Every structure is written in C-alpha cells, then in structure tokens.
C-alpha cells in the first residue's frame, strides 16, 4: 500500500506517543519535502530530532512543481506537495486532517483519511485497544480540536 502523509497526522500522533501506529497500519509512509521541512522546522518538536532516523517515513521530492504552484493558491505548501506526490506515486491513501485539503484531494479522486479515521482503523486492526484514550490525549496534549458531534461520531464508529 502506498501512503502519503501531510504534516498534521505525524505531528499529532508523535505528540501523544502513537506515531508508530502509521507504521503498524501502513508499513511505510511517504512525505514530500515540504512536509519534511515543516516537521523538522521546530526545534522543540520531538519528531524533528527523530525523523531522520525513522526509516519507514520516506521523504520524496515532488516533480510536478507547476501543480504544487497551482494548489498553493488554495492550500499550504505541505498539503499541496502531499497531494501532488500522491498523484505522482499513484498513492492508495493520503493522510490529511485539514478539510480543505481533503476536499481538494477528492477533486483528484485520491482516497483520503484524517487522523480520527486512522485511530478507528488502528482499533479495528488491534493496534490500540481503544480510540477514546488516544483521542483524549490528542485534545489535551496536542491541542487537537474536535467538535462534540465529531467526537461522538468517532467514539461510536469505534464501538466505544
């Protein structure tokens, strides 16, 4: 399975100590150079130090710079490059939290999933025993915003 990620799923999972869920679910995750730069830009970000040593996260350059330029009229550089890279490598899945980014990815018929969907998938595959504690940690430690309605939907979808 070819999976391309934007910054948010990686930073948020890392913030709550569950970054390895991506490896458990997908084996390898590709990120474009802009995402790598976002991940390593903050000196206080624990992922910034660890990222070069994580062999299952592969950084790839995006070749179609004109597509990235066009996409940056709507999206930030990381999201634009993630979508462009996903198209170039014919990705099976794009990990992206931002609603606008997922909407743009859908225009290109890319399959996409956000972090909350990853958590549900992780529970279904037995990678975590429950979604709710990880979701609570994301809210408390990573300042991950989830509406009450979405929170209830996720917990219900996870069977909790």
- What does the pLDDT read at residue 53? 72
Secondary structure element (H or E) that encloses residue 57, with its range:
strand 57-60
Helix axes 115-124, 7-15, angle to 10 degrees: 60
- What does the pLDDT read at residue 34? 95
- What does the pLDDT read at residue 144? 92
- What does the pLDDT read at residue 52? 67
- What does the pLDDT read at residue 54? 83
- What does the pLDDT read at residue 39? 85
- What does the pLDDT read at residue 40? 82
- What does the pLDDT read at residue 130? 97
Q: Is the pTM of this model over 0.85?
A: yes
Q: 26, 93 in Cβ contact below 8 A?
A: yes
What CATH architecture applies to the domain 3-115? 3-Layer(aba) Sandwich (3.40)
Q: CA-CA distances (angstroms) from residue 131 to 32, 127, 150?
A: 28, 10, 13
- What does the pLDDT read at residue 44? 52
Ranges of the chain whose pLDDT falls below 70: 42-52
- What does the pLDDT read at residue 104? 97
Delimit the domains of the chain by residue range.
Answer: 3-115, 117-157
């Amino acid at each position: 399975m070819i999976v391309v990620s934007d910054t948010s799923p990686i930073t948020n999972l890392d913030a709550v100590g569950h970054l390895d869920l991506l490896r458990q679910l997908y084996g390898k995750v590709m990120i474009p150079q802009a995402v790598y730069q976002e991940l390593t830009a903050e000196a206080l970000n624990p992922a910034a130090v660890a990222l070069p040593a994580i062999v299952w996260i592969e950084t790839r350059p995006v070749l179609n710079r004109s597509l990235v330029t066009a996409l940056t009229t709507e999206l930030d550089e990381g999201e634009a490059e993630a979508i462009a890279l996903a198209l170039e490598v014919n990705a099976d899945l794009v990990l992206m939290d931002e609603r606008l980014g997922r909407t743009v990815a859908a225009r290109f018929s890319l399959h996409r999933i956000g972090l909350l969907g990853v958590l549900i998938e992780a529970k279904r595959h037995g990678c975590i025993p429950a979604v709710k504690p990880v979701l609570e940690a994301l809210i408390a430690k990573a300042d991950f915003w989830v509406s009450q309605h979405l929170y209830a939907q996720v917990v219900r979808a996870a069977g909790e």
